[in-house]
Structure 1
Amino acid sequence: MRIAIVKLSALGDIVHAMIVLQFIKRHLPSSTIDWVVEEGFSSLLMNNLDINEIHTVSIKRAKKDKSFKVLFQTLSVLRKLTKYDIVIDMQGLVKSAIVAKIIPSDKTFGFDKGALREAFAAFFYSDTCHIKYSENVIKRNAFLISSALAVPISHDNILNKQPFLHFNNKVESCFLQNSKVNIAFVPGASFISKIYPAEKFGQLAQALDANITILWGDKKERLMAEKIQNIAPKVALINKVSLDELKAIIGQMDMVIGGDTGPVHMAWALNIPSITLFGSTPSYRNTYLTNINHVIASNSLVNPNKIDKNDFSIQDIKVTEIALKVKELLAQPDQLNRE
């Protein structure tokens, strides 16, 4: 069977979708699985042996540059792909549904209109399935693949998953220490109400007896990282890294702490202990709890259908609560064994 998966962006969303690959290959070992993704995220998928080919699109660049030429070129390439037995849109947006429709195939599969934030996307699918939009995203992804391919994916399967982010980079481990627990802080996020205050990250760093590295991706996040370091000079700032290097760094950590953002979800994908902080986004929907992957959420009542970006309740999470959760995880050495 020739399968094309459409999941264009963003970092955390792609990670949450990649979980299905190992289960498809387990039940359909001779299948071909290709993935269609925005060009900026292609390296996240690289080196995964369950993916045969990665096809990139430049829709974001076309929009940014207001270039119909770039858009036409990227869509034209998709039209010329070898025909697939099925194209599965795991994004569920109108733009991804159009991409799925353009790719030559016998069947296009996605969520029905009642399961989508952009209901019109369902118009472009030949076959659909239904699960509540408010349901956990990883459960939604598993249900979509199970419905499309008759591949069973259970809760226990997900809990016992194999790490599924792979990398070539040999990142220097000079920022790691053998005598202390190595923890990465991720202060940035896609919008401001998902960001935990730098002052409190600094206080957390002071409260923990750990070797702490701060990960950042742009100038604003660099400033947050420097603010944390000013409060807790012992923390280390690494230079800006590529996605492939980021995978390698997170894969060497003992724990990752941050908001509802891609690098923290990457820790889950790599079976690295993590604490995800939630305020304006729903914790029950945006991560998958395990023995080593925990969440701390504010008391805010979140509507997953309409995120309130003016909800800054993440700032109310106490530093002492996070520190206690760190100690709780570290008190389970068997859970930190990643062999």
Structure 2
Amino acid sequence: MNSPHMRIAIVRLSALGDIVNTAVVLQIIRHRYPDAVIDWYVEEAFAPILTAHPLLNSAISVPLKKMKKTKSLHLLHSTIHELKSRPSYDHIIDAQGLLKSALITHFLKGKVHGFDRQSAREKIAAWFYDTASAIPYEMNVIKRNVLVITEALGITYDENDIINKKPLFELHEKPESLKGEKNIACVIGASWPSKCYPKEHFLTLCDVLPYPCHLIWGSEAERDDAQWIAERSHNAHVAPKMSLRELISFIGHCDLTIGNDTGPTHMAWAMNRASITLFGPTNERMIFPTAINIGIKSPSSVNILKINRDDFSIREINPSTILQKAKELL
């Protein structure tokens, strides 16, 4: 259906980096269908980053992790009831390709589009779709996200739609801690230990970078690592605890972000700010490289279809290599 008032549901529940990288498609949709009603179904923990987004009608929180943790039948039933009670959609798009995201689409009313069986991360998800796109899993993740959604809507696009994007989220007032000279954000954590650049290397790097380094953390263990670095460096500072919306604005005000392959690092690309993403067990498929957004990969080879979480080769990236690239970007 090509009505300018079409109703569109995007299902991309997690993770933070994938949500950030998928948000670029909102600008593409709005350019073609400015009056479309767009709802985004997202895991409860990540909903704040999409709440009140100017290009969305609503961000609908789905408490999957809470249901898994509490095993509450009441929460399960109430969530299913809420999904079933939503108005029907002209297009429902599973931009994740997992069983859990496919199940969410199953309870919504309307035709569902997703990745085909060969393209979905979990093949069983494809059973829930009415139509599907054949998009190789090995393709760049941002391009994959955009393709599955634009193909569902019959929108043609080229890479300039991504390259020339506006910042994907709102930028709020510059924090007091970033007033004055240029600032660098260092994202020291990640979802797996093998994706984390060693704190000792971050210490070396912070001491030779030309501007203050703000250590971004998301857990108490990461905060302890940030404190360890800050106590030993004349140039590193522990960033304050921040909400997701505060974090994306903080990074949006930094002149450079250096970090592991994780959501906060990807925020810099989303906000059109310079970034260096460090890769060990993953690779540059996870970013959209630009003149100011680059990746540095460790010497190991990566099979994206079978990630080796025991690949700690990120430790082999020399801080001097990062410093050289940082100076070029700054």
Q: Could you say which TM-score interval applies, normalised by the shorter chain? A: over 0.9
Task: Note the C-alpha offset of 1:238.
Answer: 2.3
Q: Contact 2:52/2:58 (CA < 8 Å) preserved in 1?
A: no
Contact 1:279 1:300 in 2 (8 A): yes
For 1:293, the equivalent position in structure 2 comes to 293
One-letter amino acid of the structure 2 residue matched with residue 153 of structure 1: Y
Instruction: Say which SS state the counterpart of residue 3 (structure 1) adopts.
Output: strand
Spell out, residue by residue over 1:145-177, the C-alpha distance to the aligned partner (whole angstroms, 9 max, x if none): 22101112211111111111125x546x32124
- SS of 1:309's equivalent? coil
For residues 301 and 294 of structure 1, the distance between their equivalents in structure 2, rounded to whole angstroms, comes to 18
1:125 equivalent among 126, 129, 141: 129
Distance between the aligned counterparts of 1:129 and 1:293, measured in 2?
Answer: 28
Q: Which amino acid aligns with 1:94?
A: L
Aligned-partner Cα distance in 2 for 1:214–1:101 = 41
1:22 to 21, 27, 40: 27
Find the partner of 2:88 among 57, 78, 83. Answer: 83
2:234 matches 1:230: no
| Residue equivalent to 1:134 | 138
Residue type of the alignment partner of 2:152: A
TM-score (norm 1): 0.93
In structure 2, the partner of 1:111 is 115
Residue aligning to 1:143: 147
The aligned residue for residue 177 of structure 2 is 175
Contact (CA 8 Å) 2:252, 2:273: kept in 1 or not?
yes
Q: What is the TM-score of this pair, normalised by structure 2?
A: 0.96
Q: Is the 8 A contact 2:207 2:234 kept in 1?
A: no
Residues 211 and 235, structure 2, Cα contact 8 Å, conserved in 1: no
Aligned to 2:307: 307
Matched, 1:39 2:44: yes
Percentage of identical aligned residues: 44
Q: Deviations over 1:38-97 (max 9, x none)?
A: 111111112321100111111111101122221221121000001111100001100100
Distance across 1 between alignment mates of 2:121 and 2:249? 34
CA shift digits 1:4-42 (9 cap, x unpaired):
000111100101111100000101112111111111111
After superposition, the C-alpha distances for 1:160-201 in whole angstroms (9 at most, x for unaligned) are 11111125x546x3212423x200000000110000000100
- Output the CA distance in 2 between the equivalents of 1:177 and 1:241: 17
Q: Structure 2: how far apart are the matches of 1:310 and 1:230?
A: 30
Counterpart AA for 1:312? F
Corresponding letter in the other structure for 1:209:
P
Query: What is the rounded CA distance, in whole Å, between the counterparts of 1:147 and 1:164 in structure 2?
Result: 21
Task: Give the unaligned 5+ runs of structure 2.
Answer: 1-5
Q: Is the 8 A contact 1:175 1:213 kept in 2?
A: no
Q: How many residues align?
A: 325
RMSD after superposition: 1.2
* Residue type at the aligned position of 1:316: E
